[in-house]
Amino acid sequence: MYRKELLILLGVSIIIAFLASGLLLSQGWRPQWPLKRPELPITETPIKYIKTSVLFDFGNGEIQEHVGIDVPENTTALQFLKTITNQNKLTLKYERGGTTGQEVIITTLGKVENSNESIWRYSINGIKKGENIQTYVIQEGDSLEVKFEKE
């Protein structure tokens, strides 16, 4: 008698299992075989920023100074200058020249263009760099100065 009850219980369990799986499948559940490991999110190296500042002296009494600007590490002075002028809606035009033909010569900043009497000059930390702003990498605390000065 005990064996007969056990077989009935096993049969009922199998029927319930089939009904339950049919219900799950009818509601859109699909088993994934083989089971996949969850994909880990790809983590990127965080960008490190440094603080720097820029001063624009338009030679007519107008001066714009931007202090404590976050700049990604390894940004060149020219990249920084392009970014800051774009953010402040200032026109920036330059050409290549100098002894190497690769030196950046600023010709227009804002509405002020080079003339026979005055030109745009740049310096970093008050020192006119022999380096090209195209290759000089901004360092923590650097101050880029771009001034319209008499030749």
pLDDT tens per residue, range 49-92 = 999 999 999 999 999 999 999 999 999 999 999 999 999 999 99
**Span 104-133, pLDDT tens digits:** 889 999 999 999 999 999 999 888 765 678
Tokens 């107008």 -> residue: 62
Retrieve residue 59's tokens: 């030679």
Q: What pLDDT does residue 29 have?
A: 64
Are the C-beta atoms of 107 and 94 separated by less than 8 Å?
yes
Reference 114, options 74, 88, 151; nearest CA is 151
CATH, domain range 49-150: 2.170.130.30
**Span 22-44, pLDDT tens digits:** 766 676 666 666 656 667 777 77
Q: How confident is the model at residue 149 (pLDDT cuts 50, 70, 90)?
A: very high
Reference 80, options 143, 148, 147, 131; nearest CA is 143
3-state secondary structure of 99: coil
Residue 149 pairs in a beta bridge with 119
d(CA 102, CA 69): 27
Q: What pLDDT does residue 119 have?
A: 93
Sorted by where each begins, the domain ranges of the chain are 49-150
Reference 109, options 87, 90, 84; nearest CA is 90
Share of the chain above pLDDT 90, in %: 52
User: What is the model's pTM?
Assistant: 0.67
